[in-house]
Structure 1
Amino acid sequence: MVMSVLLNFIYPPPSSMFVSAMSVISFLILVKSGLSEIKGNHMNYSKFWNANSSTTPQNQIKLSSKAGMLLLYTPAFLAGVASFWIFPHEGIRSTIFHAAITIHYFKRDFEVLFVHKYSGSMLLDSAFSITFSYFSSAATMIYAQHLTNELPEPSINLLYPGVVLFVVGIIGNFYHHYILSNLRGKDEKEYKIPKGGLFNLVICPHYLFELIAWYGVSFICQTLYSFSFSIGSTFYLVGRSYATRKWYVSKFEDFPNDVKAIIPFVF
């Protein structure tokens, strides 16, 4: 019964054991990562890790945050670019998806180079593991979409609503990253409470819009893997936004109580 309802929205599960396994693995890893964020076990590339970087073993190789973040996103961006060449002419849905995944990671690289401001560093081994995660998720999503080429379309077409969600998510995410980048003046390192846009309602509107963009990608793809990834990302970013709000509350006595973590007026 549940599967018959789902098949109205997604392509039939792929014949590939690899993609099926990755759908489950990616989901479980993202859920675990979200729970880890809530428990205070953070990935080593954020304000949380930099605040505790004195505990890092001295023999660990560190990258500048800018170089590390560029390393994280570039292989996934290249996977998106390569998808046009590896799987060409597979229909309008695939072409739009290839464009969306490429634009998503191009925007991230663009922000690393021209928007974000940095105050810390990143461990090389952590950078490699996160880079592999981004690349493998992008490559698997591309391959999963390729496997739908010979399958009948889902009865409910979410392609164009997905394009709208993706565009709204990309623009909203970029806008709030731009606000964050302007919080600090030249040579300033300290953190400030963000203001403007949806920061007046939630502390992580950039995560909210990132999720909107990923659900847009899922609507474009309509594959089991894309929805599995987006739902898993929801758990992760909800956990990360909870940890972010908790950090701001601990650092700023005047943090507004009515500013939520990621969902306005709710959470």
Structure 2
Amino acid sequence: MNMVMSVLLRFIYPPPPSLFVTAMSVISAASLANAGIAEIKGKHMQYSKFWNNNNIGSNNSQKSSSSSSAKRAKLSTKTGMLIAYTPALLASVASFGIFPNEGFRFLLVNSALTIHFFKRLFEVLFIHKYSSVMYLDVAIPISLSYFISTSTMIYAQHLTLGFPEPPLDLKDAGISMFLMGISGNLYHHYLLSKLREQGDKGYKIPKGGLFDLVICPHYLFEILGFIGISCISQTLYAFSFTLGTTIYLMGRSYATRKWYLTKFQDFPKNIKALIPFVL
């Protein structure tokens, strides 16, 4: 155990004297990993095409589902995703004023989070094309999750003030991975958006970029972006959150490939879910 800690402390800050951050490190990793396992088992988030597809059943179940859904506040998916991402962006922007003069690493982490959520809102407004609805009682928990995880990552970074830097400085590698991840994610989201003409609600097999090798290159680059943020941050919480996010997106990639296999008879079997030639 001491050997493991000595290795970890070569590239992360010592765990902060905060029960909240320590608990959130465990909760974030566990809850996201559990969500990824749920995706593999077919239990999907209630805003995805997979969830809508799985809720097509018998007449009785459809009537029950329709009756229940009628009582829930509906939003356009675009509005729902704006609600999901905006508080996290506001938290990262506000932190520049709440924690001024925290040093270069803090500035990099906060800037990366701000860019990440600004990009997400930009994509919602100008790139993504949506064909379904989202429920308010789904949008709000997602929004809270993003807000809490972003605020916790920033607060965990704040707690490192005064601590000695980790012996292995991963900032430069982190910046490179973050920029590569966010650029690759944006590019493949753009390719996805070009699959649909205005008013088209159908699904097609994506092509171009890394889509010829994996069905979810946008998730692959999102994982790379979060690894980049973790390397810039070098806090236990950042790495725990990234671990959970990676497992979640692996599960979602598996579910996505399975969905395409069931929907398209001509889906190429050699296309992997997330990692070219491997997974």
Q: Which runs of 5+ in 1 are unaligned?
A: none
Q: Counterpart of 2:162?
A: 150
Q: Counterpart of 2:174?
A: 162
Q: Which runs of 5+ in 2 are unaligned?
A: 57-61
| Counterpart among 49, 52, 57 of residue 51 in structure 2 | 49
Please report the TM-score for the alignment, with normalisation by the length of structure 2: 0.94
Q: Counterpart of 1:233?
A: 245
Q: Counterpart of 1:6?
A: 8
Q: Counterpart of 1:265?
A: 277
Q: Distance in 2 between matches of 1:145 and 1:15?
A: 12
Q: Residue 60 of structure 1: CA displacement?
A: 1.4
Matches for 1:169-184 after TM superposition, within 5 Å? 169-184=181-196
Q: What secondary structure, in the 3-state scheme, does the structure 1 residue paired with 2:201 have?
A: coil
Q: Counterpart of 1:17?
A: 19
Q: Counterpart of 1:202?
A: 214
Q: Distance in 2 between matches of 1:33 and 1:88?
A: 35
Q: Distance in 2 between matches of 1:248 and 1:153?
A: 46
Q: What secondary structure, in the 3-state scheme, does the structure 1 residue paired with 2:96 have?
A: helix
| Counterpart among 80, 101, 120 of residue 89 in structure 1 | 101
Render the CA deviation track for 1:88-115: whole Å, top value 9, x for unaligned: 1111100111100000000000000000
Q: Counterpart of 1:31?
A: 33
Q: Residue 67 of structure 1: CA displacement?
A: 0.1
Count of aligned pairs: 267
Please report the TM-score for the alignment, with normalisation by the length of structure 1: 0.98
- Aligned residues: CA RMSD: 0.9
Q: Which of structure 1's runs of 4+ aligned residues deviate more than 2 A?
A: 49-56
Q: Which moved more, 1:226-235 or 1:48-57?
A: 48-57
Q: Counterpart of 1:192?
A: 204
Q: What secondary structure, in the 3-state scheme, does the structure 2 residue paired with 1:244 have?
A: helix
- The answer to whether the aligner puts 1:129 opposite 2:141 as a matched pair is yes
Q: Residue 152 of structure 1: CA displacement?
A: 0.3
Q: Counterpart of 1:217?
A: 229
Q: Distance in 1 between matches of 2:180 and 2:167?
A: 25
Q: What secondary structure, in the 3-state scheme, does the structure 2 residue paired with 1:217 have?
A: helix
% same residue? 63
Render the CA deviation track for 1:219-246: whole Å, top value 9, x for unaligned: 0000000000001111100000000000
Instruction: Report the residue type matching 2:142 in the other structure.
Output: I
Q: Distance in 1 between matches of 2:107 and 2:201?
A: 42
Q: What secondary structure, in the 3-state scheme, does the structure 2 residue paired with 1:122 have?
A: strand
Tell me which structure has the larger Cα radius of gyration. Answer: 2
- The answer to whether the aligner puts 1:252 opposite 2:264 as a matched pair is yes
8 Å CA contact 1:162, 1:218 repeated in 2: yes
8 Å CA contact 1:50, 1:121 repeated in 2: no
Render the CA deviation track for 1:210-267: whole Å, top value 9, x for unaligned: 0000000000000000000001111100000000000000000000000000010001
Q: Distance in 1 between matches of 2:210 and 2:46?
A: 26
